[in-house]
Amino acid sequence: MKILNLNQIKSVLNSIDLLSYIEAGFIAYSQKKAVIPPVGELLFDDPPGDVHIKYGYLSHENYYVIKIASGFYDNPKLGLSSSNGLMLLFDKNTGGLLCLLLDEGYLTNIRTAAAGAVVAKHLAPNKVHRIGIFGAGIQGKLQIQFLESIVNCRDIIVWGINQDELTEYLEYMESKGYSVETTQDANSVASSCNLIITATPTKHPILMSDQIQSGTHITAVGSDTPDKQELDAKILEIADVVIADSIDQCLGRGEIFHALNEKAVKKENLIELGDVLAGKKAGRISDDQITVADLTGVAVQDIQISRAIYEVIKDDSKYEFGNRKI
């Protein structure tokens, strides 16, 4: 049995073609080759916290994966990150634990950013002239880093509500070679960018339909619960293409959930990401279309990122826990 801590996981990730794994995962999901039971949940009041257990497997692969992810919102008062978690990869033929990834929640951020890059690769306009980011946190940074190999553009504008966080973001991304502008005005982003990623936990839309230029692609990754919403539902109404990572899941959460409630989209017009990746359905067909992708996070991403790491290290004795398997 292998165990990796966060630093080891980060090191292994550098050698993985993660986007290929994530793409294959979404394709398998849309082809109904993924078995993903309902999420398990524990909720705590005092101190406030929630724990989610996501699990499942690809029917044609040899693994099943269980992810435990938590958010304890008073943790920062104790000097701890609010999010935490780990992933367990098992042998689907024997039930043996193959690999324990003590990722502290990091892989969830990474697989979310990787999904953003997969979406941009297939749905962004041919020439991205400026990238707009809503949310100057870790996900706002990771989304840009994962876009590096997908789009040539190095000009970004970041929206946030906290000037200190925006300044920190600017300095960090400039150190990575980007030209960065910060703003607290959503319109400055919408009017200058044709690739926009929203990565905030807001419960009230921050990007409005009348701000959106033709030819823009928007990926919304912040809303993963029924009460969160980043996009004015009318944006999905004016969009030429609306993509869901999981149509089933988006019926109950995310931007599409709100747009369905407001009758801004019809379920039958939704397109699932895996069907676009497999070439089964069209995504963007011209550079002046408006496209929207709603990424609520699917366990198949957790399955694939765990598997990707395990397949690199499975013969490396450095990661072996003791000399025994369980």
What are the residues binding a second copy (CB under 8 A)? 1, 3, 5-6, 35, 37-38, 40-42, 44, 47, 49, 51, 53, 55-57, 64, 66, 68, 70-72, 75, 78, 80, 84-86, 88, 90, 92-97, 100, 102, 104, 321-322, 324, 326
The nearer residue to a second copy, 19 or 102, going by C-beta atoms, is: 102
CB of 87 to a second copy, least distance (A): 12
The nearer residue to a second copy, 88 or 251, going by C-beta atoms, is: 88
| Collapsed DSSP state (helix, strand, coil) of residue 80 | coil
CB of 225 to a second copy, least distance (A): 17
Phi-psi region of 6 (alpha: psi -120 to 50; beta: other; left: phi over 0): alpha
SS3 string of 221-262? CCCCCCCCCCECHHHHHHCCEEEECCHHHHCCCHHHHHHHHC
In whole angstroms, what is the distance from residue 266 CA to residue 206 CA? 22
C-beta separation of 232 from 190 below 8 A: no
Could you tell me whether strands 63-72 and 83-91 are parallel, antiparallel, or unpaired per DSSP bridges? antiparallel
Q: At 124, give phi and psi (nearest 5°).
A: -70, 150
Q: Which helix (H) or strand (E) segment is 20 a member of?
A: helix 18-30
Residue 164's identity, in one-letter code, is: D
CB of 80 to a second copy, least distance (A): 6
CB of 49 to a second copy, least distance (A): 6
The nearer residue to a second copy, 58 or 295, going by C-beta atoms, is: 58
C-beta separation of 204 from 186 below 8 A: no
The nearer residue to a second copy, 53 or 278, going by C-beta atoms, is: 53
The nearer residue to a second copy, 177 or 322, going by C-beta atoms, is: 322
The nearer residue to a second copy, 87 or 247, going by C-beta atoms, is: 87
CB of 69 to a second copy, least distance (A): 9
CB of 41 to a second copy, least distance (A): 7
The nearer residue to a second copy, 285 or 326, going by C-beta atoms, is: 326
CB of 249 to a second copy, least distance (A): 17
| Matching residue, tokens 């049995």 | 1
DSSP states of 259-292 as a string? HHHTTSS-GGG-EEHHHHHTTSS----STT--EE
